Amino acid sequence: MNDRGQHGRWPIRDVLTAVLVIFLQLCVAHKRVCEEVREVNVNHWRLDVGSDNLYQYLEGSCTWNITVDEGYTILAGIHVQTMLWSPDCRREHFKFYDDDSLSDGTLLNTFCGGTSYVESSSNELLTEFYAEGTTGYTYTSVEYHAVNETNECGIVDLSGSEGSFQIRRSVRRNGKCVWNITAEEGFNILLRITEYSLHSIDDNCLCNASLFKVYDGNKEDESHLVRNFCGSTYNAAETDLVISTTNSLLVVLTLQENSGFSIVNLRANYTAVNATLVNRNCGGNVTGSEGNITSPNYPDNYDNLTTCQWFITIDPAYSVQLDIDYSFDNCYTSDDYATCNSDSLMVADGNGSVVRALCARNYYYGGYPLRTYGNRAIVAFTTDQEGTDSGFIMHWYRVCERTLDSSREGTLQSPNYPDNYPGNLSCVYNVGSVVGYSMVITFHNFKLEGPSSNGSCTNDYLEVDYRSSSDLPLGMEETKRYCGDNIPSTLTLYPPVEIRFVTDLYNSRSGYQASYEFFEADCGKLLFTGEAGTITSPNYPGTYPSLLNCTYVIRVEPGQTVNLTFDHMSLRSRWTDEMQGVDCITSFSLWSGLAVLSVFDGEVSANNVSAANDSLIDIFCGDRPPSPVSSNSSAMTLLFFPGYNFGLRGFSATYTTVGNTSS
């Protein structure tokens, strides 16, 4: 693979332009699935090939030559939802060439599954689709964007009594956009965020990758962070308002995609308001175990230009749960509530990450409780200059239940720590199915009631529970309990998993304190040279990451051969039932994004699999360990293509050497 492979870091590119796209199509196929080229808007084009709900016979090839204006390059995002799989992409594939000729153009990459992107070095890109007379479901979407590398987003200074800014379907990668809004002295800034959406070619965008932040001031490092929208989508029907405390606001959009690109839609407007008219006689710091918060004057109408912030802080062992009943004045209609853009209530975690922004009336919200990730909550109520309503009443309380996810690290501790914990507790920490991640817990203190007379932890205990997880490898305990005074060794957990802290009514002690961190698994080319060893999928016995290419090479002494025995295998897809005993390639004609393990005799490169077809021993899939396999030479190669993982744990295999060592 050249240096424009799937995981390379790319230079910052910027805006789209109107695209002149010339499609030269040559297609000879029993099923003309290549012919639809659909225009999405004037700034980019989309190519759809095949159908994900039509079982069809495909044979032939099609080419499309895409040309844009001079000075622009072409960025193509590929999403192969279904395609006939083969180890070398031989049976069905897309190829992208950096020119307008198959014979003269440079091959940028070949795809037959997954999600990725390519970028041309000039204003031309040739796309070829090929099918080798196959039957199955095939559907692929390719989006083409013209990118101008000279026009960067940068910093935009805005001023005046009112104004607006927006990004409409703009392609960004590893970029940062800053809007510095300044009003006259004696005025505050009322900011309305009416739309924010981020479509990423990388569906695993995490909170540390793409952020949309608003600062109360004009410097990131010196100003108070008042909004922190994390991830890919912020619903325009939940418009948020911010009123600054000074005459400046800083709006920052940061995209940190290690690969791929993002299509951003952002729209906001601002108004300068006289600072003396803004009502700030509300809000404050709140502590305890439960309480009520209401809008000013509740149940009577609140005032215009009101901004309040409540900061709720409780015991670190708990999270904050909130029940809210509200009614705000908004500009909306029953047919189109997406125009909701007036008064709003925002609930965020202590770090500013938005949990929910509410507007309109209760029936849009559903009335269900909101819960923070940690022990702090920020409640912000903001109104504009026009129209009022009765506002809200909120009952907040602590719950001994938290959700831990891979974008955060933090602390776990028993309630009241370092004082004695209460009796009759049942606390739950949920670690969801974060595919490809492991969780490491390090204990710093641990003092619970000791075990019962039979040595089991039945009184007060901390429990790791995998019972909600399917597909546990043999020998992996479903539950494990810890109690007494001995500090547990560092735990490595593999989500999904639940951690429970349970106490009885007697013999309370100081409890525990621990820190946790998440780690994402990866793989490349791994070399094994010993006489025996164990080979596993990345993160085993946890879930393996999606969309990797893993190469395992076993190299033993000349004269020896390799015997490979599988201890556990779980490569079954959520779309298939029992796959054991069937041909894996035939099975994967239905869905290309599934996991397969190919075993070759000798050393084979993942970039040149087609040259090693004669040395292929077998291709494995399914949910049962296959029979042992052996090499004829002193080397064996395993190529693991994970595809999309929906919570499965992969494989574990043991290899041994056979034969006498000789020179």
pLDDT value, residue 650 = 86
- Specify the DSSP class assigned to residue 112: S
CATH 2.60.120.290, domain 37-147, yes or no: yes
pLDDT of residue 420: 96
Task: Copy the structure tokens of residue 356.
Answer: 């929910």
Contacts of 338 (CB under 8 A, 6+ apart): 236, 237, 332
Residue-level pLDDT at 32: 42
Architecture of the domain spanning 154-276: Sandwich (2.60)
pLDDT digits (tens, 9 = 90+) for 149-158: 544 567 889 9
| Residue count (the chain) | 663
Tokens describing residue 495: 């989500």
Cα–Cα distance, 466 to 479 (Å, whole number): 6
Secondary structure of 449-484 in the HEC alphabet?
CCCCCCCCCCCCEEEEECCCCCCCCCCCCCEEEECC
CB 427, CB 455: distance < 8 Å: no
Please state, in angstroms and rounded to a whole number, the distance separating the CA atoms of residues 80 and 27: 20
Give the C-alpha distances (Å, rounded to integers) separating 47 from 66, 90, 112, 134, 483: 11, 21, 16, 21, 59
Q: Could you say which residues of the chain have pLDDT below 50?
A: 1-43, 51-55, 150-151, 201-208, 233-238, 258-260, 331-340, 362-366, 573-582, 586-592, 661-663
Q: Report how far residue 590's alpha carbon sits from residue 622's, in angstroms, rounded to the nearest whole number.
A: 14
Write down the mean pLDDT value for the chain: 75
pLDDT at 346: 82
Domain boundaries, the chain: 37-147, 154-276, 279-399, 403-520, 525-658
Rounded to two decimals, the pTM is 0.67
- What is the secondary structure of 57-81 as a DSSP string? EEEEEEEEEEE--TT-EEEEEEEEE
525-658, which class in CATH? mainly beta
Query: What is the homologous superfamily of the domain 279-399 according to CATH?
Result: Spermadhesin, CUB domain (2.60.120.290)
Which pLDDT score is estimated for 560? 92
Q: How many CA atoms lie within 13 A of 504 on its CB side?
A: 12
With a CB cutoff of 8 Å and minimum separation 6, the contacts of 200 are 210, 232, 257, 260, 261, 262, 263
* 539: alpha, beta or left? (left if phi > 0; alpha if psi -120 to 50): left
If residue 585 lies in a helix (H) or strand (E), which one and from where to where?
helix 584-587
| pLDDT digits 0-9 by tens, 101-130 | 666 768 888 877 656 678 888 888 888 888
**CA separation, residue 526 to residues 283, 376, 625, 640 (Å):** 57, 44, 22, 12
Separation of CA 157 from chain center: 32
pLDDT given at position 16: 32
What the block records as the tokens of 448 is: 């619970």
Instruction: Assign domain 403-520 to its CATH architecture.
Output: Sandwich (2.60)
Compute the radius of gyration of the chain from its Cα atoms.
29
